[in-house]
Amino acid sequence: MTDREHMAAALALARRGLGNTWPNPSVGCVLVREGQVIGRGWTQPGGRPHAEVEALARAGEAAHGATAYVTLEPCSHWGRTPPCCDALIRAGIARVVVATGDPDPRVDGRGLQRLREAGVIVELGLLGEEARAQNAGFSRRITRGLPLVTLKLATTLDGRIATASGESQWITGPEARREAHALRARHDAILVGSGTVLADDPELTARLPGTARVPLARVVADSRLRTPLASRLVRTAREVPTWIATRTNQRPGVLAPYQEAGVQILPIPRARPGLDLAALLGALAQRGVTRVLAEGGAGLAAGLLRGGFVNRLAWFHAPGIMGGDGLPAVQPLPLALLSAMPRFHRIASRPLGQDWLTEFEECGRC
Ligand code: AOF
Ligand code: ZN
């Protein structure tokens, strides 16, 4: 197998941890000696132990003289655990192939430097673009204090999310809905507007059978505190982290019943309409969130697009047409000129039963 194939395997390992390691990145590590894979590891739930330590533990003595393929620069700082660099050096790793650097100011090149100083051969950049896309949430949080935002919508072909009477369950079929749960599981937090809570009383969990996961934080943007105390979200706030972002200077008496139910309140300055979304996203990043899945409704979608906060789109299309009286997925932006339209480029597209999921990324240069 080639270096590239081993790094691709490390990226696949890291992908397993997406949504499960925040505030840390999800990293993958493959150890290879004389063509044999002798250890594999990925960042564990909650962000520790790190990937390299996991892989080294599996390889044991065999790590001596091996090559390590790591999706992110091995750390050089003393956190709650010793630096991965030191662990690699101590295990006698001869060569470290790294996909991309770690922007964390505690590391930021020092990991590579330390390995080189110890006589380890270090190569940087293999599948770097793929690794940067995978770590985009972590990097944005570190460098800009904002999480990566993916806007997920499920619409008819003509972009509608409900009939005029408000019927919306279900527009997409079971395969698409299952995928929507898998998508949630790869995120740290889900964000919805209070209108969605009022209309659907959603649970907003990732209902997937499987292994232990770090719970997904559920966030409601609710400037006027309309979320009912009897909603599923509030009633399950003790089991799943539930955060309500509401305007600052709410009367404390209004907040108390939510807090008593286990809801955490995020006070955010008002904007018209709604809340200051930059401040809201900043507050999420401050709490460690690196990847947010925004699921609507139409007001929140418009606000996020208007502010230029949408980094990725996950758009489920169902092969139905509702017509112009159906509720649109996105409220007026409004647009004066076509040139001001938020544009994206397609990165993946696949059928799910009768539906279709298309993933887009913001246009950096287009
Ligand atoms: C690695 N391998 O698997 C991960 C790394 O709080 P700590 O001590 O766990 O350190 C967190 C930082 O470590 C995080 O900000 C990032 O720089 C790095 N994450 N590094 O070598 C890993 N998850
Ligand atoms: Zn580390």
**Would you place residue 206 in the very low, low, confident or very high pLDDT band (cuts 50, 70, 90)?**
confident
Inter-CA distances, 42 with 13, 30, 51, 139, Å: 6, 9, 4, 18
* pLDDT (tens digit per residue) in 88-146: 999 999 999 999 999 999 999 999 999 999 999 999 999 999 999 999 999 999 999 99
Looking at residue 366, its pLDDT comes to 62
* pLDDT (tens digit per residue) in 218-242: 999 999 999 999 999 999 999 999 9
Q: Is the CB of 51 under 6 A from ligand 1?
A: yes
* pLDDT (tens digit per residue) in 311-334: 999 999 999 999 999 999 999 999
DSSP structure class, residue 341:
S
Please indicate whether residue 130 is annotated as part of the active site.
Answer: no
Question: Is residue 350 within 8 Å of 366, Cβ to Cβ?
Answer: no
Q: Are strands 217-221 and 242-247 parallel, antiparallel or unpaired?
A: parallel
Report the mean per-residue pLDDT for the chain.
95
**Would you place residue 79 in the very low, low, confident or very high pLDDT band (cuts 50, 70, 90)?**
confident
Distance of CA 25 to the CA centre of its chain: 10
Residues in the chain: 366
Tell me which residue of 198, 145, 199, 155 sits closest to 180, measured CA to CA.
Answer: 155
Average pLDDT over residues 162-172: 93
Average pLDDT over residues 281-302: 97
Burial group, residue 255, by CB count within 10 angstroms (0-12, 13-18, 19+): middle
Question: Is residue 125 within 8 Å of 131, Cβ to Cβ?
Answer: no
**Would you place residue 215 in the very low, low, confident or very high pLDDT band (cuts 50, 70, 90)?**
confident
- Secondary structure class of 135 (helix, strand, coil): coil
Asked if pLDDT for residue 211 goes beyond 60, the answer is no
Q: Is the CB of 297 under 6 A from ligand 1?
A: no
**Would you place residue 198 in the very low, low, confident or very high pLDDT band (cuts 50, 70, 90)?**
very high
**Would you place residue 205 in the very low, low, confident or very high pLDDT band (cuts 50, 70, 90)?**
confident
Per-domain boundaries in the chain? 3-138, 146-362
**Would you place residue 209 in the very low, low, confident or very high pLDDT band (cuts 50, 70, 90)?**
low
Tell me which residue of 266, 279, 344 sits closest to 305, measured CA to CA.
Answer: 344
Burial group, residue 363, by CB count within 10 angstroms (0-12, 13-18, 19+): exposed
The verdict on whether residue 106 carries a ligand-binding annotation is no
**Would you place residue 365 in the very low, low, confident or very high pLDDT band (cuts 50, 70, 90)?**
low
Asked if pLDDT for residue 155 goes beyond 60, the answer is yes
Tokens standing for residue 345: 């480029």
Looking at residue 70, its pLDDT comes to 98
Average pLDDT over residues 326-348: 95
**Would you place residue 81 in the very low, low, confident or very high pLDDT band (cuts 50, 70, 90)?**
confident
> Hey, which bits of the chain come out as E strands?
28-33, 36-42, 67-70, 95-98, 121-124, 148-156, 160-162, 189-193, 217-221, 242-247, 264-268, 291-294, 312-318, 327-328, 344-352, 355-362
Q: Which ligand is nearest to the CA of 43?
A: 1
> Hey, which bits of 107-207 come out as E strands?
121-124, 148-156, 160-162, 189-193
The verdict on whether residue 137 carries a ligand-binding annotation is no
Q: What is this structure's pTM?
A: 0.96
Nearest protein CA to atom 11 of ligand 1, as residue: 24
What percentage of the chain exceeds 90 in pLDDT?
93
The verdict on whether residue 315 carries a ligand-binding annotation is no
Centre of ligand 2 from the C-alpha of residue 84, in Å: 4
Exposure string of 217-246, with b = 16+ CB inside 10 Å and e = fewer, is bbbbbbbebebeeebbbbbbbeebbbbbbb
The residues with which 193 forms a beta bridge, in sequence order, are 221
Centre of ligand 1 from the C-alpha of residue 244, in Å: 29
Tell me which residue of 78, 129, 118, 72 sits closest to 95, measured CA to CA.
Answer: 118
How far is Cα 87 from Cα 29, in angstroms, rounded to an integer?
13
| CATH fold of 146-362 | Dihydrofolate Reductase, subunit A (3.40.430)
Give the torsion through C-alpha atoms of 126, 134, 290, 21, to 10 deg: -90
Q: Is the CB of 44 under 6 A from ligand 1?
A: no
Nearest protein CA to atom 22 of ligand 1, as residue: 50
* pLDDT (tens digit per residue) in 259-287: 999 999 999 999 989 999 999 999 999 99
Average pLDDT over residues 300-311: 97
Inter-CA distances, 291 with 161, 168, 253, Å: 24, 26, 32
Average pLDDT over residues 34-63: 97
Residues with CB under 5 A from ligand 2 (ion): 50, 75, 84
Q: Which atom of ligand 1 is nearest to the CA of 48?
A: 9
Distance of CA 323 to the CA centre of its chain: 33
Looking at residue 148, its pLDDT comes to 98
Would you say domain 3-138 falls under CATH 1.10.3720.10?
A: no
Higher-pLDDT residue of 214, 120: 120
